[in-house]
Amino acid sequence: MSNTSPNPPGYQLPEEHYLNATYGLRSWLLTTDHKRIALLYLASVTFFFFVGGIFATMIRIHLLTPAGYLVTPETYNKLFTMHGVAMIFFFLIPSIPAVLGNFLVPMMIGAKDLAFPKINLLSWYIYLVGGGFVLYSFATGGLDTGWTFYTPLSSVYSNSAVTPAVIGIFINGFSSILTGLNFVVTIHTMRAPGMTWFRLPLFVWAQYATSIIFILGTPVIAITLLLAGLERMFHLGFFNPALGGDPILFQHLFWFYSHPAVYIMILPAMGVISEIIPTFARKPIFGYAFIAGSSIAIAVIGFLVWAHHMFLTGESTYAALAFSLLSYLVAIPSAVKVFNWTSTLYKGSIAYDTPMLYALGFIGLFLIGGLTGLFLACLGLDIHIHDTYFVVAHFHYIMVGGAVMGYVGGLHFWWPKITGKLYPEFLARMAAVILFIGFNLTFFPQFILGYLGMPRRYHDYPPEFQVLNVMSSAGASILALGYLLPMLYLTWSMRYGKVAGPNPWPATGLEWRTPSPPPTENFDETPVVDWEPYDYKNRPDLGLATPTAPTLAPAHGDD
Amino acid sequence: MQSQLPFYPEQASNFAPSVDSLMTFLILVSIFFSLAITAAIVIFFFKFHRKSKDEIGVPIHGDMRLESTWIVVPGLLALAMFAWGAVVYVDFRHAPQDTLDIYVIGKQWMWKIQQPNGRREINELHVPVGRDVKLVLASEDVIHDFFVPAFRVKMDVVPGHYNTMWFRPTKAGHYQFFCSQYCGTNHAVMGGWVTAMEPSDYAAWLSGSTGENEDPVTAGEKLFAEKACSTCHLGNGTGRAPSLNGVYGGTVRLADGSNVTADEGYIRESILFSNAKIVAGYQPLMPSFQGQLTEEQIMSLTAYIKSLQSQPVPATGAGVVVPGKK
């Protein structure tokens, strides 16, 4: 495969690497190499992204006219439910941890693999089985409960295929738990000599924080959905008031996981951004300890804010006050990250390669997503905007503007490492810009729709909301182009891209000190770390200019 | 304060101006931070772009003064947002005294509404301008949510619970209301119109009722006799169960020593789950009415019990536990 493209002078693909070490379907399906498992996940999460994306496309076409353009109310309800389930449980949650995290965590800490390689493969099979159940639900009656599965609608009243879906999500939970466990053990026990906690790349800190949520949160959602399934199948009264249950109990249990799940989606993306920015500014990240600490703070405080989804369920006023205050508290570490990323640019040597465009786009979109979270955490304002399109816009800014931008940016950033090839730079920059514009056009109008009072999950809406809905649908078509382009040229580049070399940017992490693509065992010999993270000054091996004394004269920052 | 927002629905209740002011405050803070960050990124982007291929940036590892500033300043702003939002919310969750109580029942996929004089409406709600209105919300099946954008109010309608919400319409007009908690197939069309009327028009509209509707208090009184509640809950306090005179709105002392406020939710619970909260000094004798009453019947009984507003009667009845005799 190394002969199909003209190699730039100086770079050759390595003779043997993890992709060509063994051949055949068996060698992939039974692999315990974390890098190959990452690629298995890449294929499967991309499949679910497509499934969820098709549902999203149909939703936006349907909403072109107030009375609904495309489908019946039943079908519309199934579309947004299945869009949410596919995207959240089978794309967003596994995307960065299971694809990029799997590939990178061992390499970044200088290890040969994860601590439990076979369990890592098992996670992927569990994911497939869970995904299979959910696809079975989609294919045999669909699912119309909303991804939130609120009882007693889901446990009693819905006529759709709820049971296989909750079984699928229950099973899939174990995949997350095992991945989290694997990461925590790996990060604790398998760091290379010299790789102290405060030399860890911030991506690893983010994965560590995410893993904590995986391990502590996922069991709760798994059990909660199982209880809803038991109530549906055997009429056991957990949540149905007619059987002596309490529907609000379900919401407490559901959000106890599902709010931290938002941080499962966004924390790894923040980790990606924390890698990209210092690389393309060629300087250490500003406030390393604050960015690392804020990841842990978000993971911990994130467990204490769940009932802010329930301000209007009739929960006690005192509970609402406490949860609102805690929600504001969790906003602070996010703000700290944004300020530190921005400050990292100061006096940098900034290049505008595609990953950097994604990182800057991430900051902008995450800023809007985060700030509008303050609106929803505000008790008085939430009375009006709760359960409207304002919420829909807010969480898409976080999950799509934040998590997906981080994921796609990260894929570009590590693509040369994963495949050994470079993607076409110009096309990639275009796609990043298209994605950014399309995204804003799709979701910004939804903030206004929400404040004007359009409730979410409506297949039919008052005519005065049409203009903004048409804008949103038009934006979605641009957004779709922004996603299709990378899928096409990244696939193309696997065969025809230029050979990247071990460290094309160059970046400072350990994963860049090994050939691209890396050998199966990652490193020929265990690396020893004797430099601080993101240090360009003392790294002659990167082949960059070392600044002369005058440029080091006391800068504004305190070094 | 009149809102200056270009995109807001009509302001037609006491809550609309306060919610819009909050919105304006948060938008201003957001614009400030968005502009500051965007400006910094754009300036750095152009000022510090890479001049030569192998140039590296100036190593700056951090600055404690900056870190503390951007923890403390956003922290204080967040506290201000929290406090202001809390004031509006606490006001919304605590209805004033002497409200006009209207009963609202949500079911897949319609709203059944009953005015104080018994006049019934479906997917329509008439309210007088300038009067504090309290909606008592119940659901017959799944969770719904009653949302009036022009009033800036909404509240979930939860099966097995009573929720209440209040507002004071400030402007006569015709305003759309929605179901805002996803409730199944026809969720999107489970809405209707609120008509806010001048008090005299409202009174005229109410009296235009055809008379076939019994008001909830009368209906509740009949049920109270029919279900044999009246055999124990004697008005003079000598029955086996506590007198219900004046119980609504007051504090009830329970057998376990705690106190509860007797609101709609307490009355509902005491009817359906009669042993959940036993009044101090009484025996748990009352049967459960769970599953035996419709939501409308429960609302009528509640309305009747609320109407018993004479002085509380001391408990002397047959249900009273005499100390020392077990």
Q: What is the ipTM of this complex?
A: 0.90
Query: Domain residues of chain A, as ranges?
Result: 25-552
* pLDDT bracket for residue A547 (50, 70, 90): low
Task: Report the range of poorest mean pLDDT among A94-103, A288-297, A310-319, A544-553.
Answer: A544-553
- Answer whether B15 touches A (CB < 8 Å): yes
pLDDT at B247: 84
Answer yes or no: do A152 and B159 touch at CB < 8 A. Answer: yes
Q: Over the stretch A337-361, which tens digit does the pLDDT of each residue have?
A: 999 999 999 999 999 999 999 999 9
Chain A residues whose CB is inside 8 A of the B291 CB are: 242
Chain A residues whose CB is inside 8 A of the B75 CB are: 332
CB pairs under 8 A between A and B: 313
Chain A residues whose CB is inside 8 A of the B40 CB are: 342, 345
- Answer whether B158 touches A (CB < 8 Å): yes
Cα separations in angstroms, A201 against A110, A297, B182? 11, 17, 43
- The mean pLDDT value for A149-154 works out to 93
DSSP H or E segment with residue B296:
helix B295-307
Instruction: Please say if the pLDDT value at position B36 is more than 60.
Output: yes
Chain A residues whose CB is inside 8 A of the B153 CB are: 383-384
CATH topology of domain A25-552: Cytochrome C Oxidase; Chain A (1.20.210)
pLDDT at B214: 77
Local structure of residue A314 (DSSP, 8 states): T
Task: Report the range of poorest mean pLDDT among A22-26, B199-203, B259-263, B311-315.
Answer: B311-315
Question: What's the pTM?
Answer: 0.89
- Best probe of the B interface among A374, A444, A469, by most B CBs < 10 A, is A374
pLDDT at B313: 57
Q: SS3 string of A31-84?
A: CCCHHHHHHHHHHHHHHHHHHHHHHHHHHHHHCCCCCCCCCCHHHHHHHHHHHH
Identity of residue A40: L
HSE-CB for A41 with a 13 A CA cutoff: 32
> Across the interface, which of A247, A311, A448 has its CB nearest the CB of B158?
A247
* pLDDT bracket for residue B297 (50, 70, 90): confident
* pLDDT bracket for residue B53 (50, 70, 90): confident
pLDDT at A546: 66
- The mean pLDDT value for B160-186 works out to 95
pLDDT at B282: 85
Cis peptide before A9 (omega within 30 of 0): no
- pLDDT over 70 percentage in chain A: 96
Residues in B 67-126 with any Cβ partner in A closer than 8 A = 67, 70-71, 74-75, 78-79, 81-82, 84-90, 92-94, 108
pLDDT at A368: 95
Answer yes or no: do A328 and B182 touch at CB < 8 A. Answer: no
The chain B residue lying nearest A158, using CA atoms, is B184
Answer yes or no: do A367 and B37 touch at CB < 8 A. Answer: yes
- The mean pLDDT value for A63-85 works out to 94
- The mean pLDDT value for B279-284 works out to 84
Contact by Cβ (8 Å): A342, A363 = yes
pLDDT at B311: 57
Chain B residues whose CB is inside 8 A of the A73 CB are: 185-186, 188-189
pLDDT at A213: 94
CATH 2.60.40.420 is held by the domain B100-207: yes
Answer yes or no: do B48 and A360 touch at CB < 8 A. Answer: no
pLDDT at A10: 66
Instruction: Please say if the pLDDT value at position B324 is more than 50.
Output: no
Chain B residues whose CB is inside 8 A of the A335 CB are: 70, 74
Q: Nearest CA to CA, how far is B48 from chain A (Å)?
A: 6
pLDDT at B321: 54
Instruction: Please say if the pLDDT value at position A302 is more than 50.
Output: yes
Instruction: Please say if the pLDDT value at position A2 is more than 70.
Output: no
- The mean pLDDT value for A291-316 works out to 94
Cα separations in angstroms, A26 against A29, A31, A50? 5, 8, 26
| Alpha carbons A81 and B85: distance in angstroms, whole number | 31
Closest CA to A339 of B22, B66, B55, B51: B66
| Sign of torsion over alpha carbons B108, B110, B115, B118 | negative
CATH topology of domain B216-307: Cytochrome Bc1 Complex; Chain D, domain 2 (1.10.760)
Contact by Cβ (8 Å): B286, B275 = yes
The chain A residue lying nearest B39, using CA atoms, is A342
- The mean pLDDT value for A60-69 works out to 93
* Contacts of A391 by beta carbon, 8 Å cutoff, 6+ apart: A376, A385, A450, A456
CB atoms within 10 A of CB B201: 15
pLDDT at A228: 94
Residue spans in chain B of domains classed CATH 2.60.40.420: 100-207
Cα separations in angstroms, A177 against A123, A126, A210, A390? 9, 11, 11, 32
* pLDDT bracket for residue B319 (50, 70, 90): low
pLDDT at A274: 96
Residues in B 18-57 with any Cβ partner in A closer than 8 A = 18-19, 22-23, 26, 29-30, 33-34, 37-38, 40-41, 44-45, 48-52, 54-57
